[in-house]
């Protein structure tokens, strides 16, 4: 990452460090809100149930209590609570409407979230705020943020979060 007042440029390299490319989706030019960090590979989250039908998941970490809510291609919604390093407890949370499913799919398709893959925004871990991990598909892309800085995230992430909040799934 390279930053200057008002700008952050996010670059990625190949494993050898020979090929370097600008990530225009995650870079913030003249709209700097918050500089991201890269998630270390050993800290990349693993979904409780990463099946091919997974559309979108949110992992919520509240001071060590971890929950996951996943939406599947058939509109079904499942909740998972972290029991320990090896187990999750699952619960059926019903389904979302077709309208909500199509809106979420459109939002996920339009914003090129793969460009945010592996980025973390805010202090991590943060003991005084909720931390969220957004996961597209079966871990196709992963981005993390904490609630204290949600209003400073890049606009595509803020829009996705607003779509997620509008579903009201955290209160089920």
Per-residue pLDDT of 83-105, as tens digits, reads 776 788 999 999 999 999 999 99
pTM, to two decimals: 0.80
Is residue 110 very low, low, confident or very high in pLDDT (cuts 50, 70, 90)? confident
11 vs 90, higher pLDDT: 90
Is residue 27 very low, low, confident or very high in pLDDT (cuts 50, 70, 90)? low
150 vs 80, higher pLDDT: 80
Got the DSSP string for 84-119?
ETTEEEEEEEEE--HHHHHHHHHHHHHTTGGGGTTE
**Which contiguous run of DSSP H or E holds residue 142?**
strand 141-146
**Which residues fall within 8 angstroms of residue 104, CB to CB, at 6 or more apart?**
55, 56, 71, 96, 163, 164, 167
pLDDT attached to residue 1? 66
């Amino acid at each position: 990452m390279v930053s200057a007042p008002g700008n952050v440029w996010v670059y990625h390299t190949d494993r050898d460090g020979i090929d370097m490319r600008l990530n225009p989706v995650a870079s913030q030019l003249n709209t700097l809100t918050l500089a991201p960090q890269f998630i270390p590979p050993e800290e990349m989250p693993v979904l409780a149930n990463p099946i091919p039908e997974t559309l979108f998941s949110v992992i919520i970490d509240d001071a060590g209590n971890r929950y996951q809510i996943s939406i599947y291609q058939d509109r079904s919604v499942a909740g998972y609570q972290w029991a320990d390093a090896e187990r999750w407890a699952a619960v059926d949370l019903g389904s979302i409407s077709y309208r909500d499913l199509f809106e979420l799919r459109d939002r996920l398709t339009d914003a090129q979230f793969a460009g945010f893959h592996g980025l973390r925004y805010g202090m991590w871990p943060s003991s005084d705020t909720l931390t969220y991990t957004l996961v597209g598909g079966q871990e196709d892309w992963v981005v993390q943020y904490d609630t204290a800085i949600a209003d400073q995230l890049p606009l595509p992430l803020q829009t996705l979060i607003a779509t997620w909040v509008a579903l009201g799934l955290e209160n089920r």
